[in-house]
Structure 1
Amino acid sequence: MYQLITDYRDDASLRHSFNQLAEKTFGLSFEDWYQNGLWSDSYRPFSIVRDGEIVANVSVNKTDMLLETKVRHFLQLGTVMTDEAHRRQGLIRELMARIDAEYSGKCHGIYLFANDSVLDFYPRFGFEISPEYESSGQLSSSGTCQFEKLTMNTPANWQLLKDAMGRSIFRGRFDMVDNPGLILFYVTKFLQENVYFHRPTDTWVIAQEENGRLLIHNIFSGTLTETGQVLNLFGSAAREVVFGFTPPETEGYTVAEHHEEDCTLFIKGDLLKLIAGQKLRIPSLSHA
């Protein structure tokens, strides 16, 4: 018999089964995230269990966003997976209906990213495709890079970054707030060597650099509020920048529709239509 469960994060057996299915589906485990104390109540799996094993899942991620100077309460659905032996049983449909019933009227909108094989599935639940937009530009700063790098391989360094998030006065036009665990999910697993900090200005940047091209995922600063001030600290080494978030400035950068292979944004809720209307981007480190 199938049973729908949630809030089992601290159940070692069920968590292990969840991770097994995630590894089989995505090649990804959440166990280190849990053991490092970073899996918070903001990430909530809704799962179908049979004979003690997780066989299907849709996770709800609370992704509050700062939009038009106000914190808006959004939900992102992710980690959508069904064990191959249990497909075509309507399990994801059941989970989606439960999530919709539980959160209806309790958030400003819901969104998700879908691969090309399921583009016809989510409109059945009231979702519609939305574009999102990417800002980029050429750089002409001079001098040497003033940033240091801090490897994110210890709890002490994770805490330093987490504290910097709390102190930050730098704000993009569509920033995720109050969810450091999701950002640290990326930093501790995939971006350990991609955190830069500048002590004099208390500025922290999560970025990937290749041949003078910067992909900036996040900026946190205790003193700086303008993107150009931060970019100047990279000196002449950086010649081009692409933003994984929406910078605060509306001028000075090229804004174009963002396309990612096998990844389509679906939204539900009128407030999320501002993504297209104001040419915003879902922050890259808020994907789950």
Structure 2
Amino acid sequence: MEQGQIVKGYRNDDALRGSFDRLARRTFDLAFEDWYQNGFWGDDYIPYSVVIDGAVAANVSVNRTDFVLGGETKHFIQLGTVMTDERYRNRGLIRRLMAEIDRDFAGRADGVYLFANDSVLNFYPKFGFRRAVELEYTKAVETAGAAFAEPVPMRDAAAWAALTGAIQASAPCGRFSLSGNTGLPLFYVSKFMQDCVCRIGDDAYAVAEQEGGTLCLHAVYAPAPPDLDAVVRAFGAGVRQVRLGFTPQSSAGWTPHARREADTTLFVRGAGFDDFERRGLMFPVLAHA
């Protein structure tokens, strides 16, 4: 039985990248080629794949994600894009890849985490992962006045470059904020959230969606820590509730809830997560791989 070869970090190999992209499309209906062609696939996203007959048969991708927490940088590894071609399932290929990743990153990360779908909830505990609970923060508000958040469509290289620069120059918008790895938020705003970016004032950007009277504020990128109440006012009258996609710097005035997302469970492993729940944290939604 063909066992294949483990190949990793091949983003500039057109044939393997194309095979990876086709498998991701079949498995998740998710494309990566445009992300690569637009220049967002950087060194922090590393596919680990079993290659059989020149094609990707199975994959686990590593996302190197650094987070600022309490003035300290935490080095985490996020696993994602876990997939196996249906012709090669039940051969232990994902186990091989997980073991390879563990060898490569042993002692190099404060923790490893992933978001699993409901069909594999019994799989990841076999690798030492435990379920973790995130806290999501909401607030009831009353806004008045005209909106002054200016929509910035994310459909061309100039818009992407301006936002990338703002992300790189941004102060943390919450107390558990992604540092570097602009490829993750750009994956969202260049694809699914092209109409969700607004400019507020001269130097701040917000990524947000409005659902009736609820404002889902996913991220704020500004040179100084943002005043979230002022950001909310920029969206004008009609906002009655705010739901944050990140952990606020201060929880005063915010109501925490256990975060629930359909078909998604957070698993964590490592000393860096020992007090994750006690601190009342959630991973920024734009940092999900």
Q: TM-score range by the shorter chain?
A: over 0.9
Unaligned runs of 5+ in 1: none
Matched position secondary structure for 1:73 = strand
Matched position secondary structure for 1:63 = strand
Unaligned runs of 5+ in 2: none
Looking at structure 2, the residues matched to 221 and 39 of structure 1 have their Cα atoms a distance apart, in angstroms, of 23
2:8 is matched with which residue?
6
User: Is 2:147 aligned against 1:152?
Assistant: no
Looking at structure 2, the residues matched to 148 and 74 of structure 1 have their Cα atoms a distance apart, in angstroms, of 34
| 1:23 aligned residue (20, 25, 28) | 25
Letter in 2 for 1:35: Q
- 4+ long deviations beyond 4 Å: none
2:86 is matched with which residue?
84
1:246 is matched with which residue?
247
**Kept after mapping to 2: 8 A contact 1:203/1:223:** no
2:278 is matched with which residue?
277
Matched position secondary structure for 1:189 = coil
**Kept after mapping to 2: 8 A contact 1:63/1:179:** yes
Q: In the superposition, relative to structure 1, how do residues 130 and 223 fare at CA in structure 2: closer, same or farther (>3 Å)?
A: closer
2:182 is matched with which residue?
180
User: Is 2:68 aligned against 1:66?
Assistant: yes
Give the Å deviation of 1:274.
2.8
**Kept after mapping to 1: 8 A contact 2:46/2:62:** yes
* Identical counterparts, % of pairs: 45
For residues 164-175 of structure 1, the aligned pairs below 5 Å read 164-175=166-177
- TM-score, normalised via structure 2 length: 0.97
Letter in 2 for 1:93: R
Give the Å deviation of 1:224.
5.0
- Aligned-pair Cα RMSD in Å: 1.1
**Kept after mapping to 1: 8 A contact 2:215/2:242:** yes
Question: Which has a greater percent of helix?
Answer: 1
- TM-score, normalised via structure 1 length: 0.97
**Kept after mapping to 2: 8 A contact 1:144/1:237:** no
Post-superposition CA distance 1:149-207 (Å, at most 9, x none): 0000001000111111122234301111101111000000000000011234x221001
Total equivalences in the alignment? 287
With 267-276 and 223-232 compared, the bigger mean Cα shift is at 223-232
